[in-house]
Every structure is written in structure tokens, then in C-alpha cells.
Amino acid sequence: MKEKDIKIIEKEMKLANEGLPEMERDLFADDRPSRIEPLNKYLEQFLNWARARSLWILAYGTGCGAIELRPLMTARFDAFRYGIAGRPTPRQANVFIIGGYASLKTIKRIVRSYEQMQGPKYVIALGSCTINGGMYYDSYNTINRIDYYIPVDIYVTGCMPRPESLIAGFNGLKKKIQAGQCDGMNKYADNFDWYKANQKQIIKDWNMPDYNW
């Protein structure tokens, strides 16, 4: 390939960030997310083993389910014994719990937070609302299917699910991670344009870069 062509391809790999005003485009990164392949099978297995035992939750309650997260850390449920701990910044967390219904306003923040997490990252969708809208299925404001906007690894049903079912969900996630099946990050990268189109369809005032690094 000629050098010129490489440049063109590189340029195409960049995001347009059309939602941003001209002045701000320089202030946001415009790289596309890309697939990351595992290095080595055994190394990856070892890492997955560790990842499954060190789950760092992004402390961001998006809906009513956030209430159910609090008891997890108390003496009764003690999620810490599984290595589940809260983390105040998406940069450091690797588990994102969508705590219930996602509205028009919160989906924007969910997408932003999800994109700011550094992979491998996992999403637990909590409650019926995240699956099919739940009791708000006919609302003008509630996202029916969260997996149209970000990839979801585990659903925990119920309205609301109790902390016990959350822990069960965590166990499921752990199994899935250890089996190496949680590949949401790559899924998101592969189907980036589709996800983006879905997001942009409902978020009309898109005032952020196309991918929030």
C-alpha cells in the first residue's frame, strides 16, 4: 500500500465528532475504539481468573436499582468477600451496573461512562426495565432495550431484584468472565457504528465526541 493510502485510511479511522462545535474539536480525542485480541491463551486464562475475583463496580446509580446496591456492602451481604468493591471513577472500574430504567437523560451519561471505562469491562443490567422497559414499557422516556445502546453481559431480572439476586448475578458474571465469554468491549468496537446510530437516534442534542475516551 502506498503511503498516501495509509494516510487516507488512518483518516477514515478517525471519528468525525460532528456534534461538537468547531472550537472544541481539538479538546477531545477522535480515535475509534478497536478490537483487542488476547495475547496468549494461558496468560489470558490466568488474567481472567484474577479479573473474576476482582470486580470493581462503577459507583453510579442510574435508576431505582441503585438503592439495592447499597446493602451489598453491608455486613449482611458483604460483597467484598468476593472481591467486589466500589470505585468512584469509571477509569478504574470494570463493572458497570445499570441500576434500573434508563431514561432519555440518563442514557447519555450511561454511554459516556461506559465509554470511559477501560476494558475489559462488563455490564450488569438490573431489573426488568433494562430488559424490555418493564412497567414503563410504554413511557415516552424509558429505554426499552439497553442492549441496543451498550453491550450487556448479564441481566438480573426483577422489579426490583433483591441484593441476593444481584449476588447471584455477580456469580454468573464471574463464571462468564472465567470462561472468557465476556467480550463486551470488542463487541462494542465491532458494532460501533450500529450502537452509535442507535444512540444518536434518541439523543438528539449530541454535544459530545462520538467516543468518549
Partner 1 sequence: MKEKIDRLRKMVNVLQVVEKHPDLYFITLEGNQLVMALGYLKNTLNFKHLAFMQAVDYLEDNKFMLTYMVYNYELKANLGVNVFIDREESSMFSIHRLWEHAWQYQRELYEMFGIDFPGSPRVDEPFIMESWEEMPPMRRDFDTLAYSQKTYFPRPGRETNDPKEQMKKAKYPNYPDSPKIRRDDE
Partner 2 sequence: MVNPLYLIIISLMAGFVLPLLDRVNRKLSLATFIGVLLANTVITGFWMHGFIQADLGTLSFSTAGFTAPLSINFQLGILEAFVLLAINLIGLLTGIYLLKKFNESPLAGMILFIMVVMGANGLILTRDLFNAFVFMEILSISTIAIITLKRTNESLSSGFKYMLASGIASIFFLLGVVFIYFFSGSLNLDFININFTDYRLIAVYMVAIALLIELKMFPVNGWALDVYESTDAGVATIISVINSTAIAFMFYKIMPLLPSNFLYIFGIIGALTYLMSNLMGLKQENARRLLGYSSIGQMGLLLASIIFTAGLEPVLRIMIVGGFFLNHLIAKTGLFWISGLIKKEKLKDWRVIRSNKSLMIMFGIFIFALSGFPPFAGFWAKWEFVKSLLAGQNILIIALILLGSLFEVIYMFRWFIQTVKGEYKEDELSIMPSGKVILTTLLGTLGFGLGILIMKNYYGFNFLFTLPILSLLFIYLIDFLPAKIKGIMSLGGLAYYGYYLYTLVQFENPIQILFGVIFLVGSGVNLISTLNRSEISKGFYGLLMMMIFSFGSLLIARSYLEFFLSWELMTIASFLLILRGKNAQKASLMYMIFSIAGAYLMMVGFGFAPELIGSSALITGLTYVQLPLISIILLALGFMIKSGVLGVHVWLPEAHAEAEADVSSFISAILLKAGIWGFLLVAISVVWNAPQFDVYYWMGWLGVFTALVGAFLASFQEDAKRLLAYSSMSQVGYIIAAISMLSHLGWVSAFYLSLNHMMFKSALFIAIAGVYYRTHTRNMYEMGGLIKKMPLSFISVLISIIAVSGVPPLSGFGSKWLMYSSFIERGWYLQAAVLFFASAVSFLYLYRLIHTIFLGQAKYEHKDVKEAPVWFIIPQYIFIGAIMVLSTFPNLLIKPLSAMASQYFNSNIVIDGYNVYSSYGHWNGNLIMLVTMGVFIVPLFFLILFIGKITKVKQFNIVYAAERPESPQTTHVAHNMYAHYRKALGGWGKPRIWDFWHGSAEWAHTMGDFFRRIYSGNGQTYLLHIILFFVVVFFLGV
Partner 3 sequence: MDIFIKIIYAAISILVATLYGLILIGIVHKIYARVHRRIGPPVWQPILDIIQTHGRKVATSHGIMFFLGPVFRMAGGMGTYLFMPVIFGSVVFSNYSMAGDLLLVMYFIFFGQLGMALGAGEGGHPYSPLGIARGLSQMSTFELPFSLAVISIAIQYQTLNITTIVAAQQGGMLNWTLFTNPLAVIAAMISLLGMNMHSPFSLVLAPQEIPIGPPIEMNGSFLGILQTNRALFASAKLVLFMNLFFGGATNLPIMMLKTFSIYMFSVFIGAAFPRFRPEQSFRFFLRIPTLIGILSVIVIAYL
* Contact residue for partner 3 among 63, 65, 99, 120 (CB under 8 A): 120
CB of 187 closer than 8 Å to CB of 151: yes
What are the strands of the beta sheet with 55-58, ordered from one edge? 84-87, 55-58, 95-99, 122-126, 154-156
**How is residue 12 written as a grid cell?**
477514515
Decide: 142 and 102 in contact? Cβ < 8 Å: yes
Which residues are at the interface with partner 1 (CB under 8 A)? 103-105, 108, 131-133, 137-145, 148, 198, 201-205
Give the list of residues 6+ apart from residue 34 with CB closer than 8 angstroms, or none: 189
| Interaction of residue 172 with partner 3, rule CB under 8 A | no
In whole angstroms, the minimum distance from the beta carbon of 146 to partner 1 comes to: 10
Q: Provide the minimum distance between the beta carbon of 192 and partner 1 in the complex, in angstroms, as a whole number.
A: 18
| # residues contacting partner 3 (CB under 8 A) | 24
> Quick one: CA dihedral 192, 125, 134, 115, positive or negative?
negative
Compute the least distance from the CB of residue 75 to partner 2, in Å: 29
Q: Which of residues 15-44 bind partner 3 (CB under 8 A)?
A: 36
Is residue 201 within the footprint of partner 3 (CB under 8 A)?
no
Omega cis (within 30) before 13: no
Partner interacting with residue 51 (select from partner 1, partner 3, partner 2, none; CB below 5-8 Å by kind): partner 3
In 3D space, the residue among 142, 147, 145 whose CA is nearest the CA of residue 123 turns out to be: 147
Interface positions with partner 3 (CB under 8 A): 36, 46-47, 50-51, 53-54, 56, 75, 78, 80-83, 88-89, 91-92, 94, 118-120, 185, 213
